[in-house]
Amino acid sequence: MIEAEVGAAFDFAAQRDYFAVEVTPKKWDVSVDQSLGGENDSAVLGSTVAAYDEALSEEERAAFDDTILYAEIRADAFNRETQRREWYREYSKALTMCGWPTVNDPYREYVSQELNFTMDEAALQIISLVAGADKLKILPLISSAFNSLEKNGGAIKLVEHKSKKNKSANFQIVPCVSLGGRPTMIACAMQLEASDVLTKVLFFKFKREQVKIYNAATRRTLNRRAYDVVKDLVQSAVHKKRLEYFKTQL
């Protein structure tokens, strides 16, 4: 019953129009899958730190992975440094059109209550607010992902290489869990503007006056019918650009 209601509410006409515009492949068509060891409950997907609930099936994880990577491909039509609002608007639209709709998608400036803080600490605070009563299930997954990432210098370099440029950074922290038997993500996008050229982003102490942070965090639940309609298109686009939009297990 729940699935039927969600399916009826999904705008399949808008989805059809969105995917009528093909993603123009660049020169990459080499498949690269860099495995750096560790547990299978977290990964780096492009410029996203992802965390998984063990209750998710392999098919559900694949739908999540491919959607996250596809959203970056579509959003990167815009410059991450100079068009951050446009970048996020396209990223959010791609998630929705891939079958992960949301009813609330706020984009706002984040002001830390601490004088000194790290970006991972800020992300945990933001996700906690959106997760609400489900934070007891979601926050440990993200904390575990950060712990694995912090010990993996190679993975940190990969995500920061993709996310930062000069005085700005643009990356995502996204847990995906099974709630009521349905895959649900908290899509948290973080955009950072610094007063100086960035050398590090994650696990680095910033002074509050040194940076401006913009974020959007929203809950999205998979509509399987909607994803199945575009699954082949999404997977094809991701495969063509896998060299740039990689998945690295943590």
- pLDDT exceeds 70 at position 171: yes
Query: Does residue 69 sit within a domain?
Result: yes
pLDDT, residue 140, reads 95
Residue of 51, 47, 36 whose CA lies nearest to 147:
51
pLDDT, residue 143, reads 95
Strands 48-52 and 168-179: parallel
pLDDT grade for 249, boundaries at 50, 70 and 90: confident
Number of domains in the chain: 1
The tokens for 237 are: 């686009």
Its domain, for residue 212, covers: 2-19+45-249
8 A C-beta contact, residue 24 and residue 234: no
pLDDT grade for 23, boundaries at 50, 70 and 90: low
**DSSP calls for 147-178:** HHHHT-HHHHHHHHHHHEETTEEEEEEEEEEE
Query: Does residue 27 sit within a domain?
Result: no
pLDDT tens per residue, range 78-134:
999 899 999 999 999 999 999 999 988 889 998 888 889 999 999 999 999 999 999
Q: Give the predicted TM-score (pTM) of the model.
A: 0.86
Question: What is the domain-level CATH number for residue 170?
Answer: 3.40.198
Query: Does residue 194 sit within a domain?
Result: yes
